[in-house]
Amino acid sequence: MASQALIVTLVIGAIAGWLAGQIVKGYGFGLIGNIVVGIVGAFIAGLILPYAGLSFGGGIVGAIIAATLGAVILLLLIRVIKRA
């Protein structure tokens, strides 16, 4: 992976993780944690959204929306697991 692609991935992950932390109140993990949640959320979204027939386009904004949706799903799963 080129260094530019890595930087873009980290920025998208950070933005998506921060947005997901704002949507799911009380489950922010700090900057590094949000980046990890955003990247894992993007991976989850990449697996789930095509099966659901959803596509947000091929740009940065579409990637942020998809990663945010995946990160929200991840945070909600974390919430359910912590309650159990």
Q: Is the predicted pLDDT of residue 5 greater than 70, yes or no?
A: yes
Number of C-alpha atoms within 13 angstroms, CB side, residue 10? 9
37, 10 contact by CB (below 8 A)? no
Q: Is the predicted pLDDT of residue 9 greater than 70, yes or no?
A: yes
The predicted structure's pLDDT at residue 10:
82
The predicted structure's pLDDT at residue 75:
85
- pLDDT tens sequence across 25-78: 766 677 777 778 888 888 888 888 888 888 777 788 888 888 888 888 888 888
Confidence band (pLDDT; 50, 70, 90) for 1?
Answer: low
Find the mean pLDDT for residues 19-26: 82
The predicted structure's pLDDT at residue 26:
67
